Amino acid sequence: MDISLTVNGHKVTAEVEGRKLLVSLLREQLKLTGTHQGCDTSQCGACMVHVDGLAVKSCAMLAVEADGAEITTIEGIAAPDGSLSPVQAAFQEYHGLQCGFCTPGMVMAATALLAENPKPTEAEVRDYLEGNICRCTGYHNIVKSIMAASGQSVAPVAAAE
Amino acid sequence: MYEFDVIRPATISEAVEALADEDAQALGGGQTLIPTLKARLASPSALVSLSKVAEMIGICYDDQGRLCIGAATTHAAVARDTSYPALSAMAAHIGDPAVRNRGTIGGSLANNDPAACYPAGVLASNATITTNKREIAADDFFQGLFETALEEGEIVTEVKFTIPQAANYQKFIQPASRFALVGVFVAKFADGVRVAVTGASEEGVHRWTAAEEALSSEFTPEAIADLTVLSDTLISDAHAIADYRSHLVKVMTGRAVKAAG
Ligand SMILES: Cc1cc2nc3c(=O)[nH]c(=O)nc-3n(C[C@H](O)[C@H](O)[C@H](O)COP(=O)(O)OP(=O)(O)OC[C@H]3O[C@@H](n4cnc5c(N)ncnc54)[C@H](O)[C@@H]3O)c2cc1C
Ligand code: FES
Ligand code: FES
């Protein structure tokens, strides 16, 4: 099946099998390996991208369903000159990552959250990250990074509930 | 995943035609079906995607004043709608944001997972499930674990709700799956209260009629204080034994009544 879509602002056409997942199209055909795949069960969120502005797990969407869509991956988040987005810069500043495996998904989730809700509370940040699993950080520094990226104080970040 | 074709019809009639092939299967948001296909637990010859069927997407009112939700409407879209706040709040807590951006009400009802949220909302609300062939009352639609009244090739096209006077859904989350360990939806109508329980029973979503009777005469958490939920048909698993689920059904019902006010 032939599909055409926009990926990080570039028009792309591709021939894909029906069963091809969006994550495989991105990683294997388009060589955009910043989008990670961390599970088989649609639970970890490492594969998160934006489809027409909405956060979606690219391992749980068929590539053909992205025909005509605008996709943004982690590679499309920094400015064209390479300068980091506010979310990326805050992850660097506040140690929002350790091994980095979950980070593309975390940045995509955080970017979608702030587009929808520019000044979230800490509880809203934690709630939004429900579908993004991190095995390293214990989440505190990720939450701090997102609070900082939204221009809010990071000091009082505490465990949920 | 085994190989399959993908068909993307634009209308209900084209979708139904494509589904006439007995090995074809409907694809809603894929949030249940794609993981199932990845695990090779199903091998359809073709998936008929409902995501481009415009007449199945969106929320409106019919001429009888019922709220009509297209079956291919996402959980996120229902969560944003303000017409039926208890249902929107329930949709807003299904899975996580990415699941809600793809998953649909029709897919959730057709799947009838014993721990899913929508079956409880639809059953308690006494909603009507419209398919390409007929209208099915919620009481007749859900038929046990992953079983519904849908026939081969039949699709849910719309779900119609009469909005209750007061309603609330309380979900005790199973933290690994984010489904309901026990979820209770309570809806109070002029002619009585309906209580639907998910997550608890080996028979899937069901009504708790003893609580309905008690709450119909007095809509307070105290009204159910003397009731007990029999645990013999409740699920016992690694997450909770049946007695605990029985306890939770009552606690969650009380909380839902209190929150509904
Ligand atoms: C991480 C995660 C967490 C989740 N947490 C929850 C939760 O807390 N609560 C909850 O309720 N659910 C939860 N879900 C399930 C989610 O709500 C799914 O979206 C839903 O169960 C299926 O809807 P879908 O549109 O994705 O359907 P699909 O996965 O596309 O399809 C599911 C089944 O329904 C059939 N189907 C789809 N649409 C129709 C239709 N219109 N008519 C007839 N048959 C149809 C398909 O053929 C398939 O058999 C979770 C899922 C994930 C991945
Ligand atoms: S790889 Fe998509 S959720 Fe884990
Ligand atoms: S930084 Fe290692 S998984 Fe999150």
Q: Which CATH architecture has domain A2-76?
A: Roll (3.10)
**What are the tens digits of pLDDT across the range A69-104?**
999 999 999 999 999 999 999 999 999 999 999 999
**What are the tens digits of pLDDT across the range B51-105?**
999 999 999 999 999 999 999 999 999 999 999 999 999 999 999 999 999 999 9
Distance B34 CA to ligand 3 centre (A): 25
The CATH 3.30.465.10 domain(s) of chain B lie at 5-161
Under CATH, what is the fold of the domain B166-260? Enolase-like; domain 1 (3.30.390)
The CATH 3.30.390.50 domain(s) of chain B lie at 166-260
What residues of chain B lie within 8 A of the CB of A1, using their CB?
A: 6
Question: Does B138 score more than 50 pLDDT?
Answer: yes
Given a cut of 50, the residues of chain A with pLDDT beneath it are 160-161
Question: Does B226 score more than 90 pLDDT?
Answer: yes
Per CATH, the number for B5-161 is: 3.30.465.10
Distance B194 CA to ligand 2 centre (A): 38
d(CA A62, nearest CA chain B) in Å: 8
Distance CA B36, CA B39 (A): 5
Cβ A24 under 6 angstroms from ligand 2: no
* Record: contact B35-A60, CB cut-off 8 A: yes
Query: What pLDDT, on a 0 to 100 scale, did the predictor assign at position B237?
Result: 94
Query: What pLDDT, on a 0 to 100 scale, did the predictor assign at position A158?
Result: 59
d(CA B127, nearest CA chain A) in Å: 29
Cβ A57 under 6 angstroms from ligand 2: yes
**What are the tens digits of pLDDT across the range B5-50?**
999 999 999 999 999 999 999 999 999 999 999 999 999 999 999 9
Query: What pLDDT, on a 0 to 100 scale, did the predictor assign at position A161?
Result: 46
Q: Which two tokens stand for residue A49?
A: 């991208």
Closest alpha carbon within chain A to B2: A19
* Record: contact B99-A131, CB cut-off 8 A: yes
The CATH 1.10.150.120 domain(s) of chain A lie at 86-149
**Is 0.80 surpassed by the pTM of this model?**
yes
Question: Does B133 score more than 60 pLDDT?
Answer: yes
Under CATH, what is the fold of the domain A86-149? DNA polymerase; domain 1 (1.10.150)
Which one of A61, A113, A131 has the shortest CB-CB distance to B95?
A131
Query: What pLDDT, on a 0 to 100 scale, did the predictor assign at position A67?
Result: 97
HEC-encoded secondary structure of chain B: CCCCEEECCCCHHHHHHHCCCCCEEEECCCCCHHHHHHCCCCCCCEEEECCCCHHHCCEEECCCCCEEEECCCEHHHHHHCCCCHHHHHHHCCCCCHHHHHHCEHHHHHHHCCCCCCHHHHHHHCCCEEEECCCEEEHHHHECCCCCECCCCCCCEEEEEECCCCEEEEEEEECCCCCCEEEEEEEEEECCEEEEEEECCECCCCEECHHHHHHHHHCCCHHHHCCCCCCCCCECCCCCCCHHHHHHHHHHHHHHHHHHHC
Question: Cα separations (Å) of B183 from B91, B119, B156, B200, B218?
Answer: 13, 10, 23, 8, 22
* Record: contact A56-B34, CB cut-off 8 A: no
Distance A47 CA to ligand 3 centre (A): 13
d(CA B216, nearest CA chain A) in Å: 34
* Record: contact A60-B47, CB cut-off 8 A: no
Query: What pLDDT, on a 0 to 100 scale, did the predictor assign at position B176?
Result: 84
Which ligand 2 atom is at minimum distance from the Cα of A43?
Answer: 3
* Record: contact A57-B99, CB cut-off 8 A: yes
Query: What pLDDT, on a 0 to 100 scale, did the predictor assign at position A156?
Result: 58
**What are the tens digits of pLDDT across the range B195-206?**
999 999 999 999
Cβ A27 under 6 angstroms from ligand 2: no
**% of chain B surpassing 70 pLDDT:** 100
Which one of B1, B76, B96 has the shortest CB-CB distance to A19?
B1
Query: What pLDDT, on a 0 to 100 scale, did the predictor assign at position A3?
Result: 97
Which ligand 2 atom is at minimum distance from the Cα of A47?
Answer: 2
Higher pLDDT, B134 or B261: B134
- Reduce the DSSP state of residue A136 to 3 states and report it: coil
Closest alpha carbon within chain A to B98: A56
